[in-house]
Amino acid sequence: MLVGLAAAGILAYAADFATLRLRMWRNLNPNGNVTVQVYYAVPQKSGKTEYDFQSTQQETCVNSIFSHLGYRPCWYARKHTDREIQL
């Protein structure tokens, strides 16, 4: 049962990647953009954290179910629009 579940996962990932490559080949909008709010979390000597908010940025995402080509899927990126950078 475990092997069948792993095979189904691999097959789903491969089908998603093949669909993405087909979209790229036919220029059918494989990528999207999401506006992200970036902020820095700066630790203070007192143990507290100071947050320094930056301007919003555009982040490229991929229109697929899984992450591909180093981009997050758009359905996930739209739900997580805050980007914290720990210093």
User: What is the pLDDT at residue 6?
Assistant: 95
Model pLDDT for residues 26-85, shown as the tens digit of each residue: 988 889 999 999 999 999 999 899 999 998 999 999 999 999 988 999 999 999 999 888
User: What is the pLDDT at residue 3?
Assistant: 94
User: What is the pLDDT at residue 29?
Assistant: 83
- Residue 73's nearest CA partner among 15, 28, 34 is 34
Distance CA 57, CA 71 (A): 15
The domain segmentation of the chain, as residue ranges, is 2-86
87: pLDDT confidence band, cut at 50, 70 and 90?
confident
From the CA atom positions of the chain, what is the Rg in Å?
A: 18
pTM over 0.95: no
User: What is the pLDDT at residue 52?
Assistant: 92
CA distances from 57 to 29, 33, 47, 60 (A): 20, 10, 29, 10
Distance CA 47, CA 63 (A): 41
